[in-house]
Amino acid sequence: MTLRISHHLSGPVLGLVLSLGVVCTAGAQTRDGVNVGGNSAFSKLVPAEQVEQAAAQQYGQMLAKAQDQNALAGPNDPQVRRLRAIAHKIIPFANDWNDRAKSWKWEVNLMGANQINAFCMPGGKIAFYTGILDTLKLTDDEVAMVMGHEIAHALREHARERMGKNAATGLGANLLSQVLGLGDIGQTVTQYGAQLLTLKFGREDESEADLVGMELAARAGYNPRAAVSLWQKMGAANKGAPPEWLSTHPSGNARIAQIEANLPQVMPLYVRTRKAKP
């Protein structure tokens, strides 16, 4: 069983968090693939439906803005078709990581910007920026590693977890009561949407997303070794990035080491999928 509790919690807030229970991961050790434990209990402090609704609203607004700026690629754009084809192969394996994914209305879009970035918001709202494709010259396998990583953030509910931690450590039991519907409604969908724009994932979240994303891509038939070449390209493109201890993200070398250590867990999945193809 897995439960991550911040050392900042105490008193009634800690009691409330503990009363929510933990995510049981019995049997996780026997499944093939990577093992990262269960989703954090902190995610239970924020209603999933509201987070996903807020994400859909924010995603729609971002697409509308991109459309107004002639920066939203159309459905017949070759890169859009490529991204959606890769997503079509990966998404069926998402359900094993999160039951909610079965009802998500997945979307994949491409926006014109020089940012080396991509994301998947709660509820399966995926976006890539042209900068990551053009600057890094990504292969399909490398695109799949990026996409799997971003999808993993949504499946592991890292945004929802961060909101729960922010509420628990920053605003205390009063806000927790509001979020849980035990008092006045204090967190509206609009406020959730605003948080989604500013939430930052920690090193543990990024490490989980690397591994889960690599597994998702491998099961979909994409070579997990591409995760190594992806982060080598990322490192070359971000030479001015701060050292690991100054950043919430693992350093490129640390990520590559973790990926290489877990290749034995995912390569058999990739090989099996490739052999199964006619």
Q: What are phi and psi of 49, to 5 degrees?
A: -60, -40
Convert the pLDDT of each residue in 135-155 to its tens digit: 999 999 999 999 999 999 999
Residue 25 tokens read as: 């991961």
Q: Which of 194-198, 206-210, 223-227, 250-254 has the highest mean pLDDT?
A: 223-227
In a domain? residue 39: no
208 belongs to the catalytic site: no
Which entry of 150, 157, 206, 215 is annotated as an active-site residue?
Answer: 150
* Strand-pair category, 125-129 with 107-111: parallel
Residue 34, C-beta contacts closer than 8 angstroms, at least 6 positions apart: 211, 212, 214, 215, 262, 265, 266
Asked if residue 15 belongs to a domain, the reply is: no
Supply the range of the domain harboring residue 141.
47-276
The answer to whether residues 255 and 210 touch, using CB atoms and an 8 Å cutoff, is yes
Domain count across the chain: 1
Residue 9 within a domain: no
What's the average model confidence in pLDDT over 53-72?
Answer: 94
Note whether residue 32 is domain-resident. Answer: no
In a domain? residue 25:
no
* Domain assignment present for 22: no
Average pLDDT taken over every residue of the chain? 80
Q: What is the pLDDT of residue 243?
A: 62
Residue 204 belongs to a domain: yes
Q: Could you tell me if residue 21 is inside a domain?
A: no
